[in-house]
Structure 1
Amino acid sequence: MSQTLLVCIGAQKAGTTWLADYLRAHPQAHMPPVKEVHFFDARFVPQWCAKYEEEMLAEYQRLTANLTLATCGDPIIQQRLHAMLLRFRMIANPNEYLRFMSWGAQGRPVLFEATPDYSMLDGHAFSVMRDIHPDVRLIFLLRNPADRFWSSMKFNQTHNPMFDIDVMFDRLIGREDFQLLGNYERTFEEVLKAFSPERLHVEFYERLFTQRAVDRICAFAGIKPKPADFGARSNASIEGEMPPARREQAVRAYAHVYRGVNERFQGDLPENWRQDMQRFGI
């Protein structure tokens, strides 16, 4: 294969869907029908991510159960079912991953997927990702840890009106999967056990929505830049500012992340990161 396999490994609620929408519309990039493939996380972090394959199977069963003579010939439905069947083949045969990623690519030079839960992988899993294709490159989007966590709470409430943010905030901020999703420095360390630094491109969410940042991503992927729609919103959540007490709680819970990223980037952080660090003495 001559294509580049470009994988956005997170972070959750840091612009991954917006970037996926941009690259899906790019003439030199190809995405499978689903943004989040959940291949590596389902294999290597099954305690948190095997559920996605179960959910996909349930969706497939629902779609097929509702088929009628009038709808079974719909090419959109056929394509969706075929894509899901290709995804299921990976369960028994990991080599099917590349078949799935390249299905319908028509020679486009970049194959792209964005699965934020990949940020939970360890060095061994990233080495498997590296070795699955001759040219694998990673994109890691970072967002102020407190804002990212609050956005994930609002996203959950958007999709589940019964989700009580006050209750779940305290319950989830220390839970292992949420800690893994938000521990950027750990992800850096694990990625760099398998990939050389030039195979990893990092952008801050707070700086992502500029043509300059998008052009950098295109240059990293080896494709021509094209204008982006910075007014588009993807995976929008309900509105609502984080209460000051909750912000302090979140900043302190992720204090090690602020410190680690600050050291890695030698203080070159977005303004709202620096403000939170100064405000709470991190």
Structure 2
Amino acid sequence: MFHFLGIGAQKSATTWLFEQLNTHPEIHFPNGKEQHFWNHQPDDAAIARYLNQFTHPTQREGEITPAYAFLPPAIITQIYQIAPHLRLFYLIRNPIDRAWSAALMALNRAEMTITEASDQWFIDHFHSQGSLLRGDYELALRHWQSIFPPEQLLLLRYECVVQEPRALLIRLAHHLAIDAEHFITLPAAQLHRKSFSGNGAPLRPTLRRVLETLYRPRITALDDYLGYPTGW
């Protein structure tokens, strides 16, 4: 049964989360982690084929695609119409750190070393529409929570993956209505295993100023929307 959808965010430990969930006997990912099915508005026949993969009678089934965070309301409405019961979760990270990590990933894909990339190369990446959308958590929350009941979307923090991964997984287990005992008994080595991590290059001070200018107003706006400080 189509039960859950992870909607993001990119470079916020979604691969780690997928791997942890995939160890749970009540969870099933029929087509792996990222399907990107909803990236383009599908027709009825395509939706029927998509839903037909979620057929297990007892397991909670779903997928995690970070690009879903910035889907337009029209597509979110389509998702709600076929699965109004969906449990959603959104794993977010300090948008300054997220943007830097994403830029490093793009650098690697371009087969460049960090010494080959100028500040301007990074600045252009930071200002790209894709990067800015992926760091606009408030907009994503507004879109999804205007269509799905807010209580169906669980907001998770990257910091918890680093500092208290077991507590994060237990919280998610309750949200998905699966047995939390599985995560209580997972070995610590499993919980702290890194997945698809970047090269860890430090953020250049010149670039931090650029990212602070870009994201400080968004962080303030997100704090206001959530009603509590994120501490970023």
User: Do these two structures clear the TM 0.5 threshold for a shared fold by scoring above it?
Assistant: yes
The residue correspondences of 1:119-268 to structure 2 (distance < 5 A) are 119-162=69-112, 165-166=117-118, 167-209=120-162, 210=164, 211-225=166-180, 226-227=182-183, 228=186, 229-268=190-229
Unaligned stretches of 5+ residues in structure 2: none
| C-alpha distance in structure 2 between counterparts of 1:260 and 1:219, whole Å | 29
Q: Distance in 2 between matches of 1:91 and 1:23?
A: 29
Range with bigger deviation, 212-221 or 155-164: 155-164
Q: Are 2:5 and 2:88, in contact at CA under 8 Å, matched by a contact in 1?
A: yes
Deviation at 1:193, TM superposition (A): 1.7
- Is the Cα–Cα contact under 8 Å of residues 4 and 221 in structure 1 kept in the other structure? no
| Equivalent pairs, count | 221
Q: Aligned partners of 1:266, 1:165: CA distance in 2, in Å?
A: 39
> Who is 1:11 aligned against?
9
Residue 93 of structure 1: SS of its match in structure 2?
helix
Q: Point out 4+ residue stretches in structure 1 off by more than 4 angstroms.
A: none
TM-score, normalising length: structure 1: 0.72
Query: 1:182–1:91: structure 2 CA closer, same or farther, 3 Å change rule?
Result: farther
Q: Does 1:269 align with 2:230?
A: yes
Provide, for residues 222-277 of structure 1, a one-character-per-residue CA deviation record: whole Å limited to 9, x for no partner.
0012235222111121121101221121121122320122112333324xx1xxxx
Q: Secondary structure at the match of 1:95?
A: helix
Task: For residue 96 of structure 1, give the secondary structure of its aligned residue in structure 2.
Answer: helix
Q: Which residue of 2 aligns with 1:66?
A: none
What root-mean-square deviation, in Å, do the aligned CA atoms of Structure 1 and Structure 2 show? 2.1
Question: 110, 113, 126: which one pairs with 2:63?
Answer: 113
After superposing the two structures, state which structure 1 stretch, 90-99 or 9-18, moved more: 90-99
Unaligned 5+ segments in structure 1 are 45-89, 274-282
Map 1:13-162 → 2, pairs under 5 A: 13-43=11-41, 93-100=46-53, 102=54, 106-162=56-112
Q: C-alpha displacement at 1:151, in angstroms? A: 0.7
Q: Which has the larger radius of gyration?
A: 1
Mapped partners of 2:125, 2:77: distance in 1:
29
Distance apart, 1:92 and its partner CA: 5.4
